[in-house]
Amino acid sequence: MLTRRNVLRGGIGLAGATLLAACASGGGAGGSGGNGNGLDVWDWSPAPDQWGEQQQNTFYGKTFPKQYPHTNFSYTIFGYTDMLTKLTVSWRGGSVPDVGRLAIAWTPQFVNEGLTAEITEADLGVPLSNFWPQALQSVRKNGASSGPLYGIPTNNESMMLIYNKDLFTAAGLDPSHGPATWEDLVSYARTIRKKTGKYGYGMVGAQNNGNTPYRFCPMMWGYGSGIFDELSATPTWKTVGINSAGTVSALELYNQMYNIDGSAQPSALSDQESDIDTLFLKGEVAMMIDHPNAAAQVHETLPSLNMGADLIPAGPVRRASVFGGSNLVIKAGTPNMKNAVDFIRAYLTPNTDTLLSGLGSNPANKAGFSSPAEKVRDAKLLFNDVTLKMMPYGVNVPLVTQGSQIWNETIPSMIQNVLSKSMTPQQAAANAASQIQQIMQ
């Protein structure tokens, strides 16, 4: 019997995934039947958020099937890194699922290619005013600021700065707050390295890794540069802006920490988010940018670690964070449209949406913040109030069809070119701009 864990390991192909969907729900392969009474949904796991996984299991395995017992329901839960590739192949081949949940960074690829159905406010039964403007922008064609929606947000979040108060104290820094600016962060990291021997800042620099730009782009935006023109009120996503002074300044700060001060860990070129979490837990790095669930996991594992949290530092132009989250989208032309809308309505009820946000995000439907589930989450989370304060500073990832490639490959490559001393910051920014221009042709 195939299990959820088989899919999380990425050990099976599309045929096996479809078989798992039937086995997981006990509902048969109705979503692929095309008779209007089926529904096939693909999602990805919130692991390592175990509490979030439990909520997902309950909703898919019990709650929704009980609400709609006559729907021939099947579902598949993938690992995060598997979902995009498998859905791309399946939908371009005209296959399942009827509904999929996509990270914001993946969404434009499917929306702009016309692979997703329009969803109206009447379909949802939820006022669009309940959602963040940046979130709605991510499900419009070409990242427009207004117009029809081709998906609906499920959860949204921002990161924050988490720091080790004891290492701050040992370095003679005030542990009651984090660094106010990016230049302060570089200075703090240098001081911590010199006075404690620990690394001041946990730098994520892995190639082909979406978490790398999640930590770099807020610095770049803080210095006034964008990948495109995403900092404007009505971006066109046509003007490439990465080869500008703000990007160079951010790359210079990265170079300062990694190559000059040695205040970022030497393994940054291969380190992902989970690696930094481990180093932070061991007391090897003093500061990291992450979600509230990372702090909760550290606290659960090592309650004695004295943590603080603060807003992501500001640059000379602005404070910024990546506006994160996910969207539910419906396959264009599905014969199971009614059931797909029923599923989305069930998912977005305030209490359910809040539960399914787990401990790593927040409900996209803001009504969830006053739901009973939010009280449960608040008891488990650390510092979520800080991330909510960061939300208004959120900036979208590239909302273009080629956005995933730019985000996961071009930006990390630019950073690696500087950290490895293959290029100067000026050369790396210019090279990235050239790559983006070629990608967009």
The 3-state secondary structure of the chain reads CCCHHHHHCCCCCHHHHHHHHHHHHCCCCHHHCCCCCEEEEEEECCCCCHHHHHHHHHHHHHHHHHHCCCCEEEEEEECHHHHHHHHHHHHHCCCCCCEEEEECCCHHHHHHCCCECCECHHHHCCCHHHCCHHHHHCCCHHHCCCCCECCEEEEEECCEEEEEHHHHHHCCCCCCCCCCEHHHHHHHHHHHHHHHCCEEECCCCCCCCCHHHHHHHHHHHHCCCCCCCCCCCCCCCCCCCCCCHHHHHHHHHHHHHHHHCCCECHHHHCCCHHHHHHHHHCCCEEEEEECHHHHHHHHHHCCCCCEEEECCCECCCCECEECEEEEEEEECCCCCHHHHHHHHHHHCCHHHHHHHCCCCCEECCHHHHHCHHHHHHHHHCCCHHHHHHHHHHEECCCCCCCHHHHHHHHHHHHHHHHHCCCCCHHHHHHHHHHHHHHHCC
Amino acid present at 127 = P
CB atoms within 10 A of CB 93: 9
* Under 8 Å between Cβ of 260 and 411: no
Does CATH number 3.40.190.10 belong to domain 160-322+402-439?
A: yes
Region of 226 on the Ramachandran plot (φ > 0 left; ψ -120 to 50 alpha; else beta): beta
Give pLDDT, residue 21: 38
Phi, psi (degrees; rounded to nearest 5) at 77: -110, 115
* Under 8 Å between Cβ of 53 and 120: no
Furthest CA-CA distance within the chain: 68
* Under 8 Å between Cβ of 319 and 160: no
Region of 142 on the Ramachandran plot (φ > 0 left; ψ -120 to 50 alpha; else beta): left
d(CA 141, CA 112): 5
Q: Where in the chain is the domain with CATH 3.40.190.10?
A: 4-158+323-395, 160-322+402-439
d(CA 124, CA 88): 25
Q: Is the dihedral of CA 310, 316, 319, 322 positive or negative?
A: negative
As assigned by CATH, the class of the 4-158+323-395 domain is alpha beta
* Under 8 Å between Cβ of 188 and 179: yes
Give pLDDT, residue 34: 53
What pTM does this model have?
0.86
Give 10-residue mean pLDDT values along the chain (441 residues): 31 34 37 71 93 97 97 96 93 96 94 96 95 96 94 97 98 98 98 98 94 96 98 93 98 98 98 95 97 90 97 98 97 97 98 96 97 95 93 95 92 98 98 97 92
